[in-house]
Amino acid sequence: MSEWEPKIVSFLCNWCSYGAADLTGVSRMQYPPNIRVVRIPCTGRMSPKFALAALREGADAVWVSG
Using CB under 8 A as the criterion, which residues of the chain lie in contact with another protein when the complex forms? 7, 9, 14, 18-19, 21-33, 36-42, 44-47, 49-50, 53-54, 57-59
Q: Is 28 left (phi over 0), alpha (psi -120 to 50) or beta?
A: left
With the CA atoms of 55, 57, 60 and 65 taken in that order, what torsion angle do they form, in degrees rounded to the nearest 10? Answer: -60
| Residue 1 or 49 with smaller CB distance to another protein | 49
Q: How far is the CB of 65 from another protein (least distance, A)?
A: 13
Start-to-end Cα distance in the chain: 37
Q: How far is the CB of 2 from another protein (least distance, A)?
A: 13
Q: How far is the CB of 1 from another protein (least distance, A)?
A: 19
